[in-house]
Structure 1
Amino acid sequence: MTATAAVRRVLIIEDCVQDALLLGLAFEDHAPDVQVQVVSDGASGVAYCQSLEPPQVVLDLHLPGQTGVEILIQLRRQATAPFQVICWSSHAHPAEIQAVLDQGAVAYLEKPRGIEGFSALVSTLLALQQVQPSADPILS
């Protein structure tokens, strides 16, 4: 089974339209069989994840109105089935990263700075779906 066969749905919770668009386009190019949904706030993300087959979630740590930690706690409380949450940000404090890892995030990833980095990010997200959390869940 390939990595792309395992991940069928990905939810991107991201308020930056450009970052969400670039990640979505990278999925189209490198994993076209993966369904990608984008929402811009935590409440919409929590509602989307209450399905019988929750997606892998890419959660921005800095959203208006709620922190990534608050959203992650809500996602975990209201989950109907197990699923992975990968947090990402372009700038996160080490304590903030540790807080989301302590709340069950599989990993923390830095947002890519260039377009080519989004393709690599898709590969990383698909690979993370195949493994359990590692001893070093902070990836750049």
Structure 2
Amino acid sequence: MTAPSGGPLIPALVVDDDHAVAGIHTGFLLAHGAFEVVGAAHSGARALELVDELRPRLVLLDIHLPDMTGIDVLRALRNRPGEPLDVIAITAARELDTVRAAVAGGVLHYLVKPFSAAVLNQRLDSYVAYRRELHAHATDGTAALDQGRIDQLLRTTSGTGTGTGTATFVTPKGLSAPTLDAVVLDLRGHGGGTSASDVANRLGMARVSARRYLEFLVSQGRARIVPQYGSAGRPEKFYLWTEGPSA
């Protein structure tokens, strides 16, 4: 079967412990038009079985499962032989450690329930563009990619931004959507403000990288800077989450 764009349908597996929610996500994928839903699993063990049986390309993965966590499933998938699977986490889990583990496990996006159909469709559009880029690079006879083509591939992976909270961002070149999700969650969890150094320490990233993500949120009107004075009397930038773009 082919997608409306003329390419082959992308086989997808839906993993969610709630049968009704799994059905909703299946409907989203089918309505998009670029995907073939090859199966649905409601436990981690069944998900791993279906991956081996059905060979999906994409897994929509819940984190809260009855027998193991979605993070356990993600780690098992990453340890499988053969071509790596693409994973989009769709979950109510907002814990910082969970987000960090998902990002470290290589999820392409981390969507926090509830979210709108438009947000999910944006992520699916981004994923389809990513698959098109992969196919183009695989069929043009190029053995190795130059920096420009690598940058383009990464942009199509993370170019639709974050689904965390109420904001939807277009992530600029050089920023990762899952990492932005993690920074947003961390910032929202510290209502009194936080520094780039503290964000970096909690998320296990470089301070300069944390500051880039925080400054991007400021530029989007989703965070603001409040100077804080330390014991030496020197001001340090503290970042506060805001619920909407500043006027």
Structure 1 residues 107 and 30, CA gap change in structure 2 (3 angstroms): closer
Aligned to 2:157: 132
Larger radius of gyration: 2
1:84-130 per-residue CA deviation (whole Å, 9 max, x = no partner) reads 111121232021111111122222111235xxx23541441241341
Greater RCO, 1 or 2 (C-alpha within 8 Å, sep 6+): 1
Judging by fraction of residues, say which structure has more strand. Answer: 1
Alignment check: 8 A CA contact 1:49 1:79 kept: no
**Displacement after TM superposition at 1:53 (Å):** 4.7
Structure 1 residues 119 and 51, CA gap change in structure 2 (3 angstroms): farther
Aligned residue for 1:50, secondary structure, equals helix
Aligned residue for 1:20, secondary structure, equals helix
Aligned to 2:36: 35
Aligned to 1:121: 120
Alignment check: 8 A CA contact 1:50 1:78 kept: no
The number of equivalent residue pairs is: 136
Alignment check: 8 A CA contact 1:69 1:100 kept: yes
- In the alignment, the residues of structure 1 paired with residue 113 and residue 123 of structure 2 have an alpha-carbon distance, to the nearest angstrom, of 12
Aligned to 1:69: 71
Aligned-partner residue type, residue 104 of structure 2: D
> Can you give the 5+ residue segments of structure 1 that lack an aligned partner in the other structure?
none
RMSD: 2.9
Aligned to 2:20: 18
Aligned to 1:45: 47
Aligned-partner residue type, residue 88 of structure 1: I
Q: Please report the TM-score for the alignment, with normalisation by the length of structure 1.
A: 0.79
> Can you give the 5+ residue segments of structure 2 that lack an aligned partner in the other structure?
131-155, 159-174, 185-247
**Displacement after TM superposition at 1:19 (Å):** 1.2
Identity of aligned residues (%): 24
- In the alignment, the residues of structure 2 paired with residue 4 and residue 103 of structure 1 have an alpha-carbon distance, to the nearest angstrom, of 32
Alignment check: 8 A CA contact 2:63 2:69 kept: yes
Aligned-partner residue type, residue 17 of structure 2: D
**Displacement after TM superposition at 1:6 (Å):** 6.4
**Displacement after TM superposition at 1:21 (Å):** 1.0
**Displacement after TM superposition at 1:58 (Å):** 0.8
